[in-house]
Amino acid sequence: MPSRFMRCEMVRTESGSSVVGLAAYIARDRRYDHSGSVFNFAHRAAELVARGLILPESAPDWAADPAAVWREAERAEQTIDRRSGEWRWKKGGQIARHMTIALPREVSDEQRQAMLLAFIAEVLQPERHGVAVEWAIHADANNPHAHLLISTRCLSEKGFGKKARGMNPGFFKRGGMNFVSEGDDWDKRWAVFQETWFAREDIAAVVRARRGVAESHYTRGQMRIEAVRTERDVIAEASAAVAEIRKCDPEAILETLTAYKAIFTARDLRRALAASGLEGEARAALEAALRQHPETLALVDAQGEAIGWTTRTARAEEAAIIATAARIAGASGQPLGAAGGAELAAAELSDEQRQAAARMTGRRLAIVIGRAGTGKSHTLHAVRRAFEAEGRKVIGLAPTNAVVADLRRDGYRQAATLHRELWALARKPKRWDRNTVVMVDEAAMVDNAMLAKLLAAVEQSGARLILAGDDRQFASVARGGMFSDLVVQHGAAELVTVRRQRQAYQAKASADFA
């Protein structure tokens, strides 16, 4: 007999819970939060039946990554402390609503998924309310169930904004702060929906009536029954396991050390050991395990002096970037034809800009570097128009939404973040072909993992790739730095004359600051 059980609870800032960790548990995958802490439940992937992410139509490109959604949801509940200048949680902040739903055993996995998605669309209506919903169905022979993680704030192209009041009948204010209620009789809504869905699908099933439990056994409209206690025990055990991994698992520590840079030093290692909380022999054993781990690679300089360590994963990632870039650069590219040549000849370019344009139109892999104000965007614009005159499909990509907005203003017919375009390309590989020209602005900000995916996609599709950037400005947030290596390996057209400023002293000052 189908159960009416549904538990709904808020993920709060003061609880000490991590919504990123909870999302990783729900999705049975590996994720990291803003602090670099890793939450890994990939070893339980076999328990996952299905999963998905539902976003508003106006969601930003980065929201295609579920982990990024919940990292930003956490950030939306943080503020800068006036005294310390550090990030801290907002008082009483609510990050997400977590629902655990009992699914009927009487139907198939496909029917359970269809029912869950119909409930989300018809009852929760995330598109109408502008919220993000991540869902997953977990396998359990005796208790098939689903998890929903729902943002409390509306998600738009600008990121997370105001609280989703329309979705929360119990929305209220207290002490000048906004809150979302937990109750709202969700078990009743789930029971009614199941009955409607069963009737619609012509399935003979009767939803179990609510048990006769005293009101004191309810918490904000949720039943305290064995299923609740069992699920909470599972989550508590999972959280404890994550805590242990973070404290003393060498592999997890190495992942954290190399999350934002390829090399870590003795100072970084000491900090990681201090964060483990271990002392004495236990700490010494952990340090030895880290130094001797099969993933760890010691690094020395030209004089043989130790300079730190990296990991085999980071080194393999860099090697893949170098090898793929070399194969692309060695392949012949279709030269610019008469129409493109005429368009480029008519463009107003300086000598060095014209040399850069010639490099970009004559190679399958071309790199252009230059400080701010030297006319990189102007030169790229001329090259784009030349390729478009040839009937080529030009795609403008960038690591951030702000730069994508600039590309669109500059006239790119198709512009997106790297995350969004590569996500779309994975689902439709024929989006790129030999007639495609991929132009990446601010390429020095692209992290190694994304650069490796980009190069692999270019090689597989036969597209042409142009990278433009300046590694003396902003670098990537995650592990990066390979843009400079590609410049060394393959050379680059460099723009050095500052043209944004009219006066000589202004141009020199701009160059010095850059």
Which residue in 275, 53, 279 sits closest to 155, CA to CA? 53
Fold of 6-245: BirA Bifunctional Protein; domain 2 (3.30.930)
Which residue in 318, 148, 246, 501 sits closest to 310, CA to CA? 318
> pLDDT below 70 — which residues of the chain?
1, 14-16, 84, 141, 167-185, 208-247, 473-477, 499-514
Side-chain-side CA neighbours of residue 409 (13 Å): 8
Q: What is the pLDDT of residue 80?
A: 82
Let me know if 50 is exposed, middle or buried by CB neighbors in 10 A (0-12, 13-18, 19+): middle
For 24-36, how does the pLDDT look when each residue is reduced to its tens digit (9 = 90+)?
Answer: 999 999 998 877 7
Q: What is the pLDDT of residue 334?
A: 80
Q: What is the pLDDT of residue 481?
A: 85
DSSP state of 500: S
Which residue in 25, 208, 28, 26 sits closest to 105, CA to CA? 208
Q: What is the pLDDT of residue 485?
A: 92
> 72-85 b/e with 16+ CB inside 10 Å = b?
bbbebbbeeeeeee
Planar angle of CA 72, 74, 77, nearest 5 degrees: 110
* Cβ atoms 239, 39 nearer than 8 A: no
Planar angle of CA 317, 318, 321, nearest 5 degrees: 90
CA separation for the pair 74, 68 (Å, rounded)? 10
Domain with CATH 3.30.930.30 in the chain: 6-245
Q: What is the pLDDT of residue 246?
A: 58
Domain with CATH 3.40.50.300 in the chain: 331-513
Q: What is the pLDDT of residue 43?
A: 87
Planar angle of CA 450, 455, 459, nearest 5 degrees: 150
Which residue in 199, 485, 90 sits closest to 323, CA to CA? 485
Q: What is the pLDDT of residue 227?
A: 52
Q: Cβ neighbours of residue 285 under 8 Å, at least 6 residues apart?
A: none
Task: Look at the pTM and tell me if it is higher than 0.75.
Answer: no
- Level-2 CATH architecture, domain 331-513: 3-Layer(aba) Sandwich (3.40)
For 353-379, how does the pLDDT look when each residue is reduced to its tens digit (9 = 90+)?
Answer: 999 999 999 999 999 998 878 888 899
DSSP state of 141: S
